[in-house]
Structure 1
């Protein structure tokens, strides 16, 4: 009777031990690998490079903007000096601001003809004293030749309004004010243009407005110099 009791206890202990062993075998093996959300070294290097490129691009854009502002200021200051030279008919002063290689082109209208009169610095120094007559272009509407001395031309198609107190001063205008096509940037694609606009009067139906475009390009030294005087007005 005692033997049977001990045998029963031993068998039960054996069965319990076996079940625990099977459960342990069925459990997944532990691993030393740990899951992490931290970026790898390659990802960190890639992100650093992207940040560097973005910073360089932002720095380049800022420098371009600063250079553009500097150029605009330099051009505007020179334009004011040239306006004074035209008003006072000072050929020496005008010539000193003209591009030494390209000279100065004169266009009576905002559509610049390819054969427009161009004068060199030496010619400009005595511009207002010269008695030579040029054909500067042709009048819109009548088609008659514009045959004038330089002084007469400037008085009619150059400084022909109070541009020093213009109603508007516009940098690099693109839209024509009248019905004549504006092609200044096509002729001078790298230019900076300052337009002085004087509005018309009510008694003339605002049709007697005038505008003068001073066109600048950089010379070999990187300085902005005048390359064209482009006049604009109402045309038929």
Structure 2
């Protein structure tokens, strides 16, 4: 009886192996190739996004340097408008905010706006749109600055809450190192916050930063 059972068991095992062998086996090579393709596409998209943001950043700087505020206005978010922060701390309620239409309306005028308060004295800073952009925002030639994307370069004793206020948005930084004469404390940096809208990146915030008392 035992002699008959052994060949039977062997036969069952052989049939089972044949059935298992008949099952479709995932194509490992194709899977790896697909993963590589997906990774390459992701890297390409990231690189493209970074290039677009750098280009847009440079367009904003060029417009500010040339005082071409028509071109600057064209880069303002059509729906969210733009907020200006005098220092690193973004005050959602206190900082000056314009819709795109209001910016275009008031930019050519001599209307004075309160943009915030001077650090130290606490005195309100009042200026026209043109003066604020030329004398405060672009107080130095930031076209010759050090650039970074989503990374802070400059930092002092002023609270920086940009990432808390704009957690899902991309920002660029344009940093000018301080001079040895002043112990490098006269550094300045200009940050732009961008948000994508209908396939294009627009400005939603302009944040200045510098050493504060």
- Comparing 111-120 with 202-211, greater Cα deviation is found at 111-120
Q: Which has the higher contact order (CA 8 A, sep 6+)?
A: 2
For 1:212, what is the secondary structure of its paired residue? Answer: strand
The one of 148, 165, 177 aligned to 1:187: 165
The runs of 5 or more residues in structure 2 that have no matched partner are: none
Distance 2:150 2:205 in 1: 14
Instruction: State yes or no: 1:140 paired with 2:116.
Output: no
The yes-or-no answer on 1:31 pairing with 2:17 is no
Kept in 2, the 8 Å contact 1:175–1:182? The answer is no
User: Taking structure 1 as reference, are residues 144 and 41 closer, same or farther at Cα in structure 2, changes over 3 Å only?
Assistant: farther
Instruction: Report the Cα distance in structure 1 between the residues aligned to 2:22 and 2:116, rounded to whole angstroms.
Output: 67
Shift of 1:189: 2.2
Moved more, 210-219 or 178-187: 178-187
Q: Identify unmatched segments of 5+ residues in structure 1.
A: 1-24
Point out the more displaced range, 144-153 or 59-68. 59-68
SS of equivalent residue, structure 2 residue 26 = helix
Deviating more after overlay: 178-187 vs 126-135 = 126-135
- TM-score of the superposition, structure 1-length normalised? 0.75
Q: 1:26 to 1:201 in 2, by over 3 A?
A: closer
Q: How does 1:1-236 map to 2 (within 5 A)?
A: 31=7, 33=10, 41=20, 45=24, 48=26, 58-115=36-93, 116-125=95-104, 128-166=107-145, 168-174=146-152, 177-219=155-197, 221-236=198-213
Please give the TM-score of this superposition, normalised by the length of structure 2. 0.83
The total of aligned residue pairs comes to: 208
Look up the SS of the partner of 1:48 in the other structure: coil
| Paired residue secondary structure (1:31) | helix
Instruction: State the Cα distance separating 1:183 from its structure 2 match.
Output: 1.8
Distance 1:26 1:164, change over 3 A: closer
